[in-house]
Structure 1
Amino acid sequence: MALKRVALEASTSVAELVRALASGLAGGVITPDELLGQVRKGIQVMEKIPTIFDRGDDFKVLPKPREGCEWVFAGEGRPTEKLDGTNVRLTIRSGHVVRVEKRRNPSKLQKQQGIIDGWYVDADEHGPEDRWIFEAVRGTEFQGWPDGEHSAEALGPSIQGNPLGLARHMVVPFNLEIPVYDDVPRTYDGLRGLFQHLESRFAPGHLAEGIVFHHPDGRRAKIKRKDFPGGAGKSR
């Protein structure tokens, strides 16, 4: 659907679009590394993290493991804290941020057109809608971050209601600083009970928003406190 939309905007067919891309590669207009870079970004965007249980008509989870998440219930994967903020992607060079992107989700119309996955777009440093993202960037030290692109969460007093009660804005990278939990249950009742008292490792004194399981092969799956009927307890 995405290729079809681009082809439509270019007044051509998908087949011609693919041939034009191949011609661009052959003619040196675009390099293989540039193309692979965009493909890798697309793969990252496509990886929408599934919830580990099926959902009912009320959109709350049911005690039925979701197909494809069997590995979680088999005890595989590392459970980390899920942070509830604004999803961003930062490009780092020599300890400095050279690009700030934010996640954009498809509109209702786009979903009707078959576009279901989100993507990253450049954030506007001077736009009021991205003010707090850049406030979080300015409040974060990047000297220890390796060069490259880092998916992360922007958090703070003016972002998503600040469920963790943070005193300042900051960016937390998913691959560097997210706390890991030990001995997490892998059953519906066990997880529902856990969320009634599971404290955030990132902001002690506040309940954790959820857990993301990371498989060694790169797969991920999640469960949030509010996914359960009744929300599995309220924030402290």
Structure 2
Amino acid sequence: MEETRGRGRPRKDPERLARWTPPEGWSRLVAWISPEEKKALKRVAVDAEVSVADLVRALAGGLAAGAITHEELIGHVRKGLQVMEKIPTLFERDGDFRVVDRPRPECAWVFDGEGAPTEKLDGTNVRLTVRGGHLVRVEKRRNPTKLQKKQGITDGWYVDTAEGAAEDKWILAAARNTDVTAWPDGEHSCEALGPRIQGNPLELDDHRCVPFNMEVPVYQDVPRSYTGLRDFLTGLDSRFAPGTLAEGIVFHHPDGRRAKIKRKDFPRSA
């Protein structure tokens, strides 16, 4: 016989919904995280006997009160950023996580003059499937977990978005706001951009998807030295949002390798 669950503890006032009103001046923090990152946070929260929200607040509170030092937190953040990096940065980084004039060995091909430089778009990687000028499928990129990387799985893959899923809302908005009537039939890898995606660094007014195989222009005469790239990015205008500085450059090798450099990677005093 199936066991019936109890109703739980009754509310003191059953006619009133449980609702917490934040103090005046408080703000809400929202961040998109992967399923693996969510599980990791939950594990720590369970051990600490708090909710994930209280875990984040405890971190912020400890930092504000000086119980957690700035240096301690920055050290852990840098380790996390290195794990998250999907495309290698051209140069090694210093203790302040800024690039130094020391090329990374795996990016040597860039300094040998190989690869095509394109504008780095800071959005979400998606794949749109088109048939007869109509959008028939929208997928998002899934990257291997730390465990999968240890198993030798290094390349990401695409999974379907879900109608009504909060985490897919703005991806779907970008896809539907993209004119695909002239696109050839097939699957097109794109970058989803817009006001509610990745902080909207290009300050776009609408959501849209940019297909890498059709709309991402190749820059000509891009320097390939530390100082040359630093100076070049200082005034590089975005092709997708004229009047706004481009985030950076991604070099694409014919064999599929990529390497990147962003304007904010360089020291501010450089």
TM-score w.r.t. the length of structure 2 is 0.61
| 1:185 is aligned to 2:223 | yes
- Note the C-alpha offset of 1:175: 1.1
Superposed CA offset, 1:177-235 (max 9, x none): 01222211110111112221111011111010111112344432211122222397xxx
| 1:138 is aligned to 2:206 | no
Structure 1, unmatched stretches of 5+, are 1-47
Question: What is the DSSP-based 3-state SS (H/G/I as helix, E as strand, rest coil) of the residue aligned with 1:50?
Answer: coil
In structure 2, relative to structure 1, the CA distance for the partners of 1:117 and 1:215 (3 Å cut) is: closer
- Note the C-alpha offset of 1:112: 7.8
- Note the C-alpha offset of 1:170: 0.5
1:12 alignment partner in structure 2 = none
Superposed CA offset, 1:40-92 (max 9, x none): xxxxxxxx532222233443322111213222112222211111111111122
TM-score w.r.t. the length of structure 1 is 0.69
Is the 1:104–1:118 Cα contact (8 Å) retained in structure 2? yes
2:266 alignment partner in structure 1 = 228
2:164 alignment partner in structure 1 = 126
| 1:100 is aligned to 2:138 | yes
- With a CA cutoff of 8 Å and minimum separation of 6, indicate the structure with the bigger relative contact order: 1
Describe how 1:4-23 pairs up with structure 2 within 5 A. Answer: none
Structure 2, unmatched stretches of 5+, are 1-85
1:174 alignment partner in structure 2 = 212
| 1:157 is aligned to 2:222 | no
Is the 1:89–1:152 Cα contact (8 Å) retained in structure 2? yes
- Note the C-alpha offset of 1:107: 5.5
Question: What is the DSSP-based 3-state SS (H/G/I as helix, E as strand, rest coil) of the residue aligned with 1:229?
Answer: coil
- Note the C-alpha offset of 1:108: 6.5
- Note the C-alpha offset of 1:110: 6.3
2:109 alignment partner in structure 1 = 71
Report the identity percentage. Answer: 71
| Bigger-Rg structure (1/2) | 2
Aligned equivalent of 1:197, options 228, 235, 239: 235
Question: What is the DSSP-based 3-state SS (H/G/I as helix, E as strand, rest coil) of the residue aligned with 2:239?
Answer: coil
Root-mean-square deviation (CA, aligned residues, Å) is 2.4
Instruction: Output the amino acid matched with 1:211.
Output: I
Aligned equivalent of 2:247, options 199, 209, 229: 209
Question: What is the DSSP-based 3-state SS (H/G/I as helix, E as strand, rest coil) of the residue aligned with 1:176?
Answer: coil
Superposed CA offset, 1:21-43 (max 9, x none): xxxxxxxxxxxxxxxxxxxxxxx
